[in-house]
Amino acid sequence: MRSFAISERLLPIKHALGHPLRYLQPYQLLEKPNMKPNNIIEPGLLPNEADFSDEFFQQFTLRNDKQPLRLSDTITKDYQFPTLYGNVTCAIGVFLCDYDKAQAMLPHPKMKPVAMPKGRALVTFSCYEYQKVRGVAPYNEIAMTIPVMIDPSVNVPVLPMIMDGLFKKFGYYVFHMPVTSLENRIRGNDIWGLPKVVDTIDININNDTSKTVATDEQGNQYFSLSVPTSGKSTAFDVQSNIYSKLNNKLLQSPTQFKANFNVTKHMDRLWKTGGDDPSVLTIGKGPYGDMLRNLNIEPQPFQFRYAAHMNACFDLPNEHYQAPFAFTG
């Protein structure tokens, strides 16, 4: 699922990945979101409220969290929520994988991957260029998720994916989330318990294809996804839930997005296995590559979606949500 840089003074701080922070002049903006890791933590919120006048954003009442978030020894920020995202480019690939391997990725046995035929589950890769983020510098992100049902009485195959509004226990569990911004790695880890790491994420469009490549800090190019920018134009205005684990609690966090997506479906994959590798998904080396390989992901895509301009929001965890189970240990 993009990064500016602003700062006021030089401080000898090192971030969690062990690299020194560097500083630019106040509100110095990079012309284009930086695909390399942005390890700059700025002392203030980006003053870009005027960029969020679209009707989509007017439905939300912004509020602060119970307390500001500490980002370093010297910097805290009092963000407003939900976080608003404007003019987002979004490329999504949905693939089939081994059901038991997907189940093993989930933090509790009562969380169930949405069942697909032939002993399979789904894994989704959502690649974002967040060109406008309210109060925050732009950055790039990849949400790697497993569609799940939370403690279902019956794990109905397929239907939660196409009729998700009827399945209140449906949502997405994030198992890996590379970002290009240290600030947003901290936000994701500390507010939502999301497994964000700071990586290099390159997103480029060539010959009607959006290609996303993730490289870890050791230089391992461990993920590459090519998504066609063409397809059947389909309007989406979707509300869903993201599930994550923080402080031994299951969190449910609302998300919403609206855009016209170009969609390419391969519904025959429901009943087929095997076939030629179309070389749209490449899993490379390194620990994150090993993690992805362990899911036994089929190389043939189930669905692609691409939107050049998407508006979205992501809210604080639902404080009224009560998980139907508890974590132990």
In a domain, 111, yes or no: yes
| Position 242 pLDDT exceeds 60 | yes
In a domain, 58, yes or no: yes
In a domain, 329, yes or no: no
- At residue 15, the pLDDT reads 35
| Position 159 pLDDT exceeds 50 | yes
Question: Which pTM value belongs to this model?
Answer: 0.88
Question: Among 10-14, 117-121, 166-170, 184-188, which stretch is predicted with the lowest mean pLDDT?
Answer: 10-14
Report d(CA 16, CA 131) in Å as an integer: 25
In a domain, 297, yes or no: yes
> Quick one: CA dihedral 271, 274, 278, 284, positive or negative?
positive
- At residue 328, the pLDDT reads 84
pLDDT tens digit string along 260-314? 999 999 999 989 998 899 999 999 999 999 999 999 999 999 999 999 999 999 9
In a domain, 156, yes or no: yes
Which domain, by its residues, includes 132?
A: 49-314
How many other C-beta atoms lie within 10 A of the C-beta of residue 263? Answer: 18
Pairwise pLDDT comparison (180 vs 161), residue with the higher score: 180
- At residue 3, the pLDDT reads 34
In a domain, 134, yes or no: yes
- At residue 6, the pLDDT reads 31
Pairwise pLDDT comparison (204 vs 159), residue with the higher score: 204
Supply φ then ψ for residue 202, to 5 degrees: -100, 130
In a domain, 26, yes or no: no
Query: Token digits for 158?
Result: 């397929």
In a domain, 29, yes or no: no
Contacts of 68 (CB under 8 A, 6+ apart): 76, 77, 78, 79
Residue of 79, 62, 63, 80 lying closest to 71 (CA atoms):
79
CB 248, CB 327: distance < 8 Å:
yes
Domain count, the chain: 1
CB 70, CB 76: distance < 8 Å:
yes
Mean pLDDT of 93-119: 96
- At residue 176, the pLDDT reads 98
| Position 165 pLDDT exceeds 70 | no
User: 25: pLDDT confidence band, cut at 50, 70 and 90?
Assistant: very low
pLDDT tens digit string along 126-156? 999 999 999 999 999 999 999 999 998 766 6
3-state SS string for the chain: CCCCCCCCCCCCCECCCCCECCCCCCCCCCCCCCCCCECCCCCCCCCCHHHCCCHHHHCCCCEECCCCEECCCCCEECCEECEEEEEEEEEEEEEEEEHHHHHHHCCCCCEEECCECCCEEEEEEEEEEEEEECCECCEEEEEEEEEEEECCCCCCCCHHHHCHHHCCCEEEEEEEEEECEHHHHHHHHHHHCCCEEECEEEEEEECCEEEEEEECCCCCEEEEEEEECCCEEEEEEEEEEEEEEECCEEEEEEEEEEEEEEEEECHHHHCCCCCCCCCCEEECCCHHHHHHHCCCCCCCEEEEEEEEEEEEEECCCCCCCCCCCCCCC
CATH number, domain at 275? 2.40.400.10
Strand partners for 173: 146, 243
| Position 2 pLDDT exceeds 50 | no
CB 37, CB 180: distance < 8 Å:
yes
How many other C-beta atoms lie within 10 A of the C-beta of residue 297? Answer: 21
- At residue 169, the pLDDT reads 83
| Position 160 pLDDT exceeds 80 | no
Mean pLDDT in the chain? 88
Question: Among 61-65, 197-201, 229-233, 267-271, which stretch is predicted with the lowest mean pLDDT?
Answer: 267-271
> Quick one: CA dihedral 75, 81, 82, 84, positive or negative?
negative
Question: Among 30-44, 233-247, 315-329, which stretch is predicted with the lowest mean pLDDT?
Answer: 30-44
pLDDT tens digit string along 82-103? 999 999 999 999 999 999 999 9
